[in-house]
Amino acid sequence: MARVYLDHASSSPLRPAALDAMLPYLRDHHADPGRVHSEGKITRVAIEEAREHVATLFGARPREVVFTATGTEAINAAVWGAVARGLDERDQPRDQPVVHVVTTAVEHSAVLDACERAPAEVSVVGVDAVGRFSADAVIDALRPETVLVCVQLANHEVGTIQTEVPAIIAAGRERGVLVHVDACAASGHIPVDFHALDADLCSITAHKLGGPKGAAALLVRRGLRLPPFVVGGAQERARRGGIENVPAIVGFGAAAAELASEDRLATEATATRVLTDRLLTCTLAVDDVTQLGDPDARLPHLVCFSVGGVEAEPVLLGLDQRGIAVHSGSSCSSEALEPSPVLAAMGVDADKSLRPSVGWNSTDADIDAFCSAFPEVVAKLRALRTG
């Protein structure tokens, strides 16, 4: 029996178009794209074509796309680059930070860890019960020494879309503070228009939208110069050192081109919303199950809910035994040995949360399988708990 994969929000299967585009650059075209010989020119052209596809999908100019290896690297490049730029502009020593960064309690660990380790003071803004931060709270945290605001476009755990990001960007522009938007969770699932957002920096990634692992990008507003995070080469117009991962970048470009064609992004978003609505209907029919995050303004492809009376980890394992893969906010579900800070910031017990997510190749049969297994798994576990 085929397994059911409902963890697209962690990493989505590779689209056939992306695989097909990558294969020639795994088998035949091996050259360094920084070389001037004919072989090097082939890989250089492939990268630049991929850059155009990614720029088109995300409403950016090709020159604003800086390819990185992961969304985590893109985020670190934004945070460390903005802090270094702020220190240089103020002519301050980097071992005695006098610059300031504002972020929120529901950001991805890549954001929170980068902000914590950067040579800057950090203010972390709280959120409400659905995981949404307010523009007023973020703006109130700004100081004269603030050099960066780092906020997400949508939450990666509960799916809440952060509707007040445009107001935060506008305030940052007015005060001369750089704003970085983490759009990795939103990439390929809702429209992300870099120019319409008017942000200074924006992180995106390939593997959450059906592209390959190993390719992501930092969108950098035209005219903005940041010190590179990865040094040792002049690649990416001296903005990110190191030889480019040509096959992964080509695959990212192919996945982006597919999503940008014939309203594919909107079509897939509608389809995934229908699937997650179905999943929620059957899930919430089980006693003491509560949806987490905003029920309406959410990413279309993921849902998060808490399961009363039993920890989520046994539910996850019970579903896995029945051939269904989902994600849990519990500490044992990942490399981290602590509960999700997102759910903790919302006041939710992370040990009782599940996050199923669908994607470009999910089907009604996948939801049928989940809806059949979930009530049985929960009932069995609750019976064991009560003796």
* Rg over CA atoms, the chain: 21
Q: CA torsion sign, 378 to 380 to 384 to 386?
A: positive
Gap between the Cα atoms of 292 and 307, Å rounded:
11
Please say whether the beta carbons of 206 and 213 come within 8 A: yes
Gap between the Cα atoms of 88 and 230, Å rounded:
18
Alpha helices by DSSP H, listed for 62-183, are 71-90, 109-117, 135-140, 165-175
Give me the residue label for tokens 């990558």: 22
Residue type at position 206: A
Please say whether the beta carbons of 97 and 130 come within 8 A: no
| List 150, 184, 332, 371, catalytic entry | 332
What is the DSSP track for 263-299?
A: THHHHHHHHHHHHHHHHHHHHHTSTTEEEES-SSSB-
Gap between the Cα atoms of 188 and 252, Å rounded:
11
Chain-centroid distance, C-alpha 33 = 28
Q: How far apart are the first and last CA of the chain?
A: 32
Note if 332 is an active site residue. yes
Alpha helices by DSSP H, listed for 205-361, are 235-238, 246-260, 264-284, 312-321, 341-345
Please say whether the beta carbons of 108 and 203 come within 8 A: no
Gap between the Cα atoms of 31 and 122, Å rounded:
43
Question: Residue 376 has what DSSP assignment?
Answer: H
Q: Which residues are catalytic?
A: 332
